Chains A and B, each alone.
Chain A
């Protein structure tokens, strides 16, 4: 299996300096004002929960709900990990916004030709050998990037090595596993983390969609059969009438 990239955010190390937010806005050419929530011009934000700072961004699911939902395939999971969006394909149906278990994608409601906006883990920068802008800007090492299996090992090492951590890597199970992980010393539900289903989301629709060929074949056969019987009954009735 090909190696994929992943980000680890250690909430215990975040000082809330918002350097990641600023760096993200800079590489995307967004206006630099600080925003409190994710928006079309804020693809990552630091949310304050008590004295904790929680970074929000796309989770880059292993098997993303948005990519399975998108009818034109504008969203897709790339081989290297990031979930990317092709605005040229998008028709603006917003099913990805409905489908995302983490409520991440943002829509440009104020525009006349609106697109979906979400973090793409700086896919272009990473394939050019650079770090994602947010990780590069982080002064405390609260956000790190690496190969997914190594990042997961590192997260486990931290949890086992220090009793302060909650014994869960958020993102390891959620939505069947993601490529962005969080470590915390406070229960995740107290920090506004979604209690996402512990299974890959596309599985929920795959079963129903798998039925399509069956429905078409069996349905067509049954309908033809019914029609044949109906015709036969009419023919027999005609025959009997003529005999009488």
Chain B
């Protein structure tokens, strides 16, 4: 048991450090302003907070709507054990995006303005509404996990009955909203024609963003499940992870096909083979997001071993993040004329928000019924209490 407690202190120490740095970065952001607390400039007005916090945050949270659609609309009961984990990860992901907005916006106390001040011609307006509504949908989809812990039976039953009645409609609304804003995040960059590098600029950016978000969101769901099994001793049949992973390869292949055809039709091929950072980043993205995972996931041995599957999913996520950062930072660098590297405060605040998501997920899994109760739940809850 000594090894385990040492490990826990190491992780706790790291989380403590991340929070200390993150809180100082938060102080810097609000006391010094964006100019001193970031490396953002008029030439590079969007940096890590948008590229990582918003684009990756929303994209990697696509697992919730995909799994909900699979279980409730398509009737794939075999994914039900993953459902609550997927919805929880997505819900926390969207909350992190909203938290990140409080850093990113110059006037965060006006974040409610889009509710009353409309511009239907703006991509960002549609996204802000979709994110507001879909976060509400996720909160409602997740709510039974909290409500079922309410000690008053009458209230509990009344709510769960109501929830059961609206659930299908809720899932459908969630799928439509997700489809819209996942693609519109790519749509944000349609207006950067002439600025964004040809390796990423395309009239099909919305489709690309949509097609890439679903496999990435599923990969995150698998990672969250694996970590719950490993470190929280959730008793889940790992076969379900392999089951989910079988969706990822075909989705990635579909995306790769679109991406490839798109690059050819845009005559972007020559840009791939130039000696410059953009081309290297492009190949890194392709290797991590398309080639590597497709090769690895085609092998049954890797899919069926939870650990190798976990690292393959990590590769998908890393590749996805490379893509979003390429669109939002690398691909715009040449036209901006500045070389943007995020300031430590940008990294620290982003890392703190991520750590908060991981912690919230951990406590939710410990205290709520998130994971399927294959084994008697009291055993491991009691076990944890005894340890502490």
Contact = CB atoms under 8 A, between A and B. Distances in A.
A215 B75 contact: no
Interface in B69-100: 69, 72-75
A110 B33 contact: yes
Interface stretch (A11-19, A43-51, A129-137, A219-227): A219-227
B1 interface: no
B265 interface: no
Interface stretch (B112-120, B140-148, B245-253): B112-120
B107 to A, nearest CB: 4
Given A72-B119, A92-B105, A109-B35, A209 B126 contact: yes
Interface stretch (B178-186, B256-264, B313-321): B178-186
Contact of A197 (B45, B188, B193): B193
A91 B191 contact: no
B46 A212 contact: no
A219 B191 contact: no
Contacts of A204: 190-191, 193, 203
Contacts of A90: 106-107, 110
Interface string A184-223: 0000000000111100011011101100100110011001
B155 interface: no
A73 B180 contact: no
Interface stretch (B36-44, B283-291, B296-304, B362-370): B36-44
B106 A107 contact: yes
A67 B123 CA distance: 11
A89 interface: yes
B42 A106 contact: yes
B168 interface: yes
Contacts of A231: 75
A224 B172 contact: yes
A70 interface: yes
Interface string B108-142: 10110110011111111110100000000000000
A197 B106 contact: no
Contacts of B191: 65, 68-69, 98-99, 201-202, 204-205
B3 interface: no
Given A71-B128, A72-B119, A230 B42 contact: no
A93 interface: yes
